[in-house]
């Protein structure tokens, strides 16, 4: 049995040029985004392999020998290894996939090889999602999926017209959509990762880091990338109150601020405030465990906790888009009963660093000034010191605070904040640096506040006995417009900024708002769909507390319904457009019931004659039906009324 | 293993396949008779899906999930489409012209699409001989699949079980069905190429040998009559004059030849005798002689022409002993 050649077996059907061309086009299409990202030599090599296959097809040249392909594969793999010193991990995997798709095409001879290449194409589609899952990418990859599926159809029916094959592919994909939707909604989601993610799994993600040194904010704010979105219940707060608190920095080495560790105090939530805000945050993955909250959070999201200095920490680094609900009070001070040890850490400065600033701070402190008075002096200094807010501050030397305060007088938020906190500490007032985001843009369409990396900000908190930690934004003191109106208005027009942050194109802004509303829904409902949303959905339709068993049961039930629907579609009866034929069939059925089955070879004349002889009672009608049928079916013209007569005769035919 | 079991127990096979052979007329392959399993490519596709799913979980790729599930749905839809490509097709057999043993019986199967969509790439395979062909059935139309089944022995050759298979549109599933149509082909004995016998001439007929020789002498042309053998039409003359003319041979009516079983050498076995007689029938027909056939229990009086030779050959094919 096995040795029998099978004309439909994919191993034995050669691929024609047309189907090969489709396959090549589909693969090139889904690979196009990688071409721009991959090293130039790999892009070149892959394109060469594709071109080689085209040449072979056009020229009917033989396929290259296996050894040659193995050689090319080894060279390519060596090149990939040279790029990252590994053959594993995300980017190496993508590179190898590109290489192998070209090599597979060069040994593609049969339907089976081509189908394997199509499957490789499916993998290539998924690798694109590692970089971006935006709506345009999804749309493009849908086109790619269609092309690959169409080539699969073409492989199965090489003789068929291309248009018909495209239609079939579209139909199959259309029929696949309901099942896909149900699977997407109900397939029990497992929270990854299943195995250790390779080192490079999250490369290229920008966001706040856990330290601050001059220059890293001005790099970050050039990015248009979205940090998170917040949907408020009711009116969003005014711009000046949008302080999104992130990590707190304690340790200063004269240039860089770092997070504190080993803090022992307990963070206290505010009990009330001017206004209470309830909102939902959709946080983009940033690979750190802190979450951002409007100052100051009055409740914790699920499975999150406060660090001693009041940062909200998730149970694990945020590797996927995360959604959490929060309540905050609009307050600018946090009550605290910090112990003296902690407070002493908040006054530590590296000895010998920034002597001029230290001298200035000592002056404020002289004469036994209270912390409030020292704070007032510092604020006064920043206000009147003619400091310039700029994205491109000059480079600072070893004593960065001195350089900024007395020499360059130009800086970005990290310069102002760093200098201010240093001054306060040098004057003996406990102070710390807070990183986060300030502001955000409220969408006029869905009122969702979008916070971008360009809103990244740093400010200070000063401890005043009896009041707790008080928020001071040194940048705002020297340049109030930054806080009231956002970065774009605070900076001179000559500064480089992300294109869309500029405000002069109002209609463009409107369109962007609409688009971002769509993107937000996409992020929440498509990209952010997870096991929690699944539970929400099921409790919404009346199945509370659904576990994976309930999900699976629901999934299979609905899939069964869908399959039944598809089967019913495939079983549709198609009405015969020909009434003559229908009448004749009815006639044959009636006679067959009388034991007079029409033999396959029997024509209408013979059959009706035989039947008339067997059923003399209905002889006239039977003969008339035979004559009418022959005339209507085989005659040149259709006399009016005859079809009706035939149908009536057949209908009225009765046997006793 | 299942195959042998079914071969030995036709009742189980009939129950399983949902029909009782042989079937008359147009057989419609209802869904109940169409079986479907994943093809090897489908298994590979499933493995691809699993890897895609694991990757999507690991990298938390929502669109990876979406793609995986869309491909899963595609497989499901592809399964239904594959079954649809075969289901409710009408199969009937056209008459197969008689052949000689050793030749191939040209069974013609008519596949009636019966639906307003085409059904591409349908494999028709004769299970007994493994003869196969692939046809595309057009929209609302018919396609003919010719199965050249080797005819080994004389007598009736039933078509037997035929499998129809398709993998369209995605190649991930293999749908198939069996039919056993009431079609048969008459197989004449393999003709032995030996010269016509020095016949046992009837007293009245004289030497058939001599007359047979004489029959090959061309005498004249006359107008064509419907009963004339096409072999005797003077095609060259027809081409010239646009008129059907028949060649006449001298002494045609006079010759009478008996092809007699009893006249064959005693050492020949039954099949060899029938072969030789079949060869003689052909030769006699070609020479234009009037010939009759005598078998134990069968006698066909002398005659001529295609229907006569057909009758003789048929008698030889179906002879089962006196």
Contact map slice: A 88-107 vs B, CB within 8 A: 90
Average pLDDT along chain A: 83
> What is the pLDDT confidence band of residue A203, given thresholds at 50, 70 and 90?
very low
Indicate if A239 belongs to the active site: no
The yes-or-no answer on residue A309 being catalytic is no
Chain A residues in contact with B173 by the CB 8 A cut-off are none
Average pLDDT over residues A606-632: 89
Quick one: pLDDT at residue B265? 83
pLDDT value of residue B165: 93
Long-range contacts of A252-255 (CB under 8 A, 24+ apart): A252/A348, A252/A349, A252/A350, A252/A418, A252/A421, A252/A422, A252/A425, A253/A350, A254/A350, A254/A353, A254/A354, A254/A398, A254/A399, A254/A400, A255/A213, A255/A214, A255/A398, A255/A400
The yes-or-no verdict on residue A201 having pLDDT over 60 is no
pLDDT tens, A253-290? 878 888 877 777 777 777 777 788 889 998 888 888 88
> Residues A610, A591: contact at Cβ < 8 Å?
no
The predicted pLDDT at position A1 comes to 38
Query: pLDDT grade, residue B253 (50/70/90)?
Result: very low
| Mutation site, A123, A154, A600, interface B, largest B CB count within 10 A | A600
Q: Which long-range contacts (CB under 8 A, 24 or more apart) does A39-43 make?
A: A39/A79, A39/A83, A39/A95, A41/A79, A42/A76, A42/A79, A42/A80, A42/A83, A42/A95, A42/A98, A42/A99
Whether residues A126 and B64 touch (CB distance < 8 A) is answered with yes
Q: What are the distances in angstroms from CA B90 to CA A190, A476, A569, B28?
A: 48, 84, 19, 4
pLDDT of residue A182: 93
| A266, A365 contact by CB (below 8 A) | no
- Selecting among A309, A338, A402, A473, the annotated active-site residue is A473
Any residues with CB less than 8 A from the CB of A590 and at least 6 apart, and which?
A650, A653, A655
Q: Which residues from B are below 8 Å from A188, CB to CB?
A: none
Which pLDDT band, with edges at 50, 70 and 90, does A506 fall under?
A: low
Cβ-defined contact of A184 to B87 (cutoff 8 Å): no
Neighbouring CB atoms inside 10 A of B245's CB total 20
pLDDT tens sequence across B26-69: 888 888 888 999 999 999 999 999 999 998 988 888 899 999 99
Which residue of B62, B68, B108 is the best one to mutate when testing the A interface, meaning the one whose CB has the most A CBs within 10 A? Answer: B62
Euclidean distance between CA atoms A424 and A374, whole angstroms: 8
Least confident of A507-521, B170-184, B211-225, B227-241: B211-225
Report the pLDDT value the prediction gives residue A562, as an integer from 0 to 100: 93
- Which pLDDT band, with edges at 50, 70 and 90, does A3 fall under? very low
Compare all CA atoms of chain A with the CA of B85 and give the residue at the minimum distance. Answer: A570
Cβ atoms of residues A122 and B48 within 8 Å: yes
Q: Which residues contact B170 (CB under 8 A, 6 or more apart)?
A: A149, A152, A153, A156, A172, B74, B75, B78, B81, B82
Residue pLDDT, tens place only, A563-614: 999 988 888 776 656 778 888 888 998 888 888 888 878 889 999 999 999 8
Helix (H, G, I), strand (E, B) or coil at A373: helix
Q: How far apart are CA A66 and CA A55, in angstroms?
A: 18
Which of A47-51, A90-94, A488-492, B189-193 has the weakest average pLDDT?
A: A488-492
Exposure on the CB side of residue B269, measured as CA atoms within 13 A: 1
**C-beta atoms of B59 and A187 within 8 A:** no
How distant, in Å, are the alpha carbons of A8, A152, B161 from that of B170?
Answer: 12, 6, 27
Q: Tell me the pLDDT band of A184, cut-offs 50, 70 and 90.
A: very high
Structure-token pair, residue B41? 């490519």
pLDDT at B21: 67
Average predicted confidence (pLDDT) for chain B: 83
Q: How many CB atoms lie within 10 A of CB A580?
A: 18
Token pair listed for B195: 């010269």
pTM: 0.68
Q: CB atoms < 10 A from the CB of A120, how many?
A: 22
Q: What is the arithmetic mean of pLDDT over A19-41? A: 90
CA A561 to chain centre: 30
Statement: residue A521 has pLDDT above 60: yes
- CB of A161 within 8 Å of a chain B CB? The answer is no
State how far the Cα of A304 lies from the Cα of A574, in Å rounded to an integer: 61
What is the percent of chain B with per-residue pLDDT over 90, rounded to a whole number? 36
Beta bridge partners of B260: B294
Yes or no, beta carbons of B80 and A600 under 8 Å apart? no
Report the pLDDT averaged over residues B187-209: 64
Confidence of residue A499 (pLDDT cuts 50, 70, 90): low
For residue B175, the SS3 value is: strand
Amino acid A486: pLDDT: 58
pLDDT tens sequence across A123-137: 999 999 988 888 999
Residue A468 pairs in a beta bridge with A464
pLDDT for B239 equals 80
Catalytic residue among A111, A415, A457, A513: A457
- Residue A74: pLDDT band with limits 50, 70, 90: very high
**Is B175's pLDDT higher than 90?**
yes
CB A435 within 8 A of CB A478: no
Q: Which pLDDT tens digit goes with each residue over A398-445? A: 788 888 888 888 888 888 899 999 999 988 889 999 999 988 888 777
What token pair was written down for A518?
Answer: 């769509």
Q: Does A239 touch chain B (CB under 8 A)?
A: no
Rounded to 5°, the CA angle A582-A585-A589 comes to: 140
CA atoms of A433 and A422, how far apart (whole Å) = 10
Task: Let me know if A48 is a catalytic residue.
Answer: no
**Residues of chain A above pLDDT 70, percent:** 90
Summarised one tens digit per residue, pLDDT across range B105-147 is: 999 999 988 888 899 989 999 988 888 898 999 988 889 999 9
In the A/B pair of chains, how many CB contacts fall below 8 A? 195
- Residues of A within 8 A of B66 (CB-CB) are 138, 180, 184, 526
| pLDDT at residue A487 in the model | 59
Torsion angles phi and psi, residue A625, rounded to 5: -60, -45
For residue B322, the model assigns a pLDDT of 60
């Amino acid at each position: 049995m096995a040795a029998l050649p099978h004309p439909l077996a994919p191993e034995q059907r050669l691929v024609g040029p047309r189907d090969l061309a489709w396959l090549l086009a589909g693969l090139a299409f889904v690979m196009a985004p990688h071409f721009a990202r991959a090293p130039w030599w790999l892009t070149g090599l892959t394109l060469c392999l594709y071109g080689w296959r085209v040449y072979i097809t056009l020229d009917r040249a033989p396929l290259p020998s296996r050894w040659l392909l193995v050689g090319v594969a080894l060279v390519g793999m060596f090149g990939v290894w040279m790029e990252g010193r590994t053959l594993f991990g995300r980017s190496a995997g993508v590179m190898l996939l590109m290489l192998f798709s070209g090599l597979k095409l060069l040994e593609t001879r049969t339907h089976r090889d081509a189908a394997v290449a199509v499957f490789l194409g499916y993998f290539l589609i998924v690798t694109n999602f590692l970089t971006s899952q935006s709506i345009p990418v999804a749309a493009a990859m849908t086109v790619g999926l269609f092309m690959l599926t169409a080539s699969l159809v073409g492989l199965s029916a090489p003789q068929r017209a291309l248009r018909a094959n495209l239609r079939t592919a579209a139909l199959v994909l259309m029929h696949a959509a309901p099942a896909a939707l149900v699977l997407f909604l109900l397939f029990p989601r497992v929270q990854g990762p299943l195995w250790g993610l390779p080192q490079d799994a999250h490369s290229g993600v920008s966001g706040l880091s856990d330290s601050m040194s001059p220059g890293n904010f001005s790099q970050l704010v050039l990015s248009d990338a979205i940090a998170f979105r917040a949907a408020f219940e009711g009116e969003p707060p005014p711009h000046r109150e949008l302080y999104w608190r992130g990590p707190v920095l304690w340790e200063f080495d004269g240039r860089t601020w770092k997070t504190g560790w080993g803090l022992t105090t307990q963070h206290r939530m505010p009990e009330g405030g001017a206004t209470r805000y309830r909102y939902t945050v959709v946080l983009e993955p940033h690979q750190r465990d802190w979450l951002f909250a409007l100052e100051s959070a009055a409740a914790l999201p699920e499975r999150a906790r406060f660090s001693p200095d009041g940062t909200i920490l998730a149970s694990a680094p945020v590797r996927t888009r995360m959604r959490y609900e929060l309540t905050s009070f609009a307050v600018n001070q946090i009550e605290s009963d910090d112990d003296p040890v902690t407070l002493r850490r908040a006054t530590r400065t590296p000895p010998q660093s920034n002597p001029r600033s230290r001298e200035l701070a000592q002056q404020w402190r002289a004469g036994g000034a209270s912390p409030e008075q020292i704070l007032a002096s510092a604020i006064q200094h920043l206000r009147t010191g003619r400091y310039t807010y700029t994205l491109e501050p000059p480079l600072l030397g070893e004593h960065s605070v001195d350089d900024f305060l007395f020499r360059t007088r130009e800086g970005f938020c990290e310069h102002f904040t760093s200098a201010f906190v240093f001054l306060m500490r040098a004057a003996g007032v406990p102070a710390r640096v807070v990183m986060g985001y300030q502001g955000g843009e409220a969408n006029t369409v869905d009122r969702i506040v979008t916070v971008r990396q360009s809103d990244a900000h740093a400010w200070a908190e000063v401890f005043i006995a009896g009041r707790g930690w008080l928020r001071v934004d040194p940048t705002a003191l020297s340049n109030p417009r930054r806080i009231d109106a956002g970065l774009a208005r605070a900076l001179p027009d000559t500064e480089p900024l992300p294109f869309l942050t500029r405000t002069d194109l109002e209609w463009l802004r409107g369109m962007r708002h609409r688009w971002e509303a769509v993107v937000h829904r996409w992020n929440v409902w498509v990209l952010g769909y997870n096991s929690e949303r699944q539970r929400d959905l099921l409790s919404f339709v009346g199945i509370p507390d659904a576990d994976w068993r309930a999900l699976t049961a629901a999934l299979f039930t609905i899939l069964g319904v869908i399959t039944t629907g598809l089967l019913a579609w495939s079983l549709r009866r198609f009405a015969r457009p020909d009434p003559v034929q229908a009448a004749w069939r009815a006639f044959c059925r009636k006679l067959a019931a009388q034991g007079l089955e029409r033999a396959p070879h029997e024509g209408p004349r013979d059959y009706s004659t035989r039947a008339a002889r067997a059923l003399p009672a209905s002889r006239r009608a039977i003969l008339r039906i035979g004559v009418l049928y022959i005339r209507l079916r085989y005659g040149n013209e259709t006399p009016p009324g005859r079809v009706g007569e035939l149908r009536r005769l057949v209908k009225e035919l009765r046997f006793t | 293993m299942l195959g042998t079991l079914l071969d030995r127990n036709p009742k189980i096979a009939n129950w399983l396949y949902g029909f009782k052979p042989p079937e008359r007329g147009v057989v419609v392959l209802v869904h109940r008779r169409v079986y479907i399993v994943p093809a090897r490519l489908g298994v590979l596709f499933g493995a691809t899906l699993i890897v895609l799913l694991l990757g999507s979980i690991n990298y938390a790729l929502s669109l990876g999930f979406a793609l995986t599930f869309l491909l899963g749905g595609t497989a499901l839809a592809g399964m239904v489409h594959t079954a649809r490509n075969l289901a409710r097709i009408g199969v009937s057999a056209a008459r197969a012209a008689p052949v000689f043993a050793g030749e191939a019986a040209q069974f013609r199967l008519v596949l009636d699409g019966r639906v307003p969509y085409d059904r591409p790439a349908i494999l028709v395979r004769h299970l007994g001989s493994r003869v196969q062909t692939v046809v595309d059935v057009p929209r609302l139309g018919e396609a003919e699949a010719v199965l050249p089944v080797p005819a080994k022995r004389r007598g009736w050759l039933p078509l037997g079980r035929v499998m129809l298979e398709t993998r369209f549109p995605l190649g991930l599933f293999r749908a198939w069905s069996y039919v056993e149509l009431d079609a048969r082909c008459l197989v004449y004995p393999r003709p032995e190429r030996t010269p016509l016998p020095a016949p046992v001439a009837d007293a009245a007929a004289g030497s058939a040998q001599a007359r047979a020789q004489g029959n090959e002498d061309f005498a004249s042309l006359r107008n064509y009559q419907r009963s004339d053998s096409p072999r005797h039409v003077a095609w060259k003359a027809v081409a010239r004059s646009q008129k059907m003319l028949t060649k006449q041979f001298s002494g045609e009516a006079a010759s009478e030849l008996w092809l007699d079983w009893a006249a064959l050498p005693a050492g020949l076995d039954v099949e060899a005798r029938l072969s030789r007689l079949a060869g003689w029938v052909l030769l006699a027909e070609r020479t234009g002689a009037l010939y009759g056939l005598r078998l134990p229990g069968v006698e066909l009086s002398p005659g001529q022409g295609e229907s006569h030779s057909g009758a003789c050959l048929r008698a030889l094919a179906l002879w089962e002993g006196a």
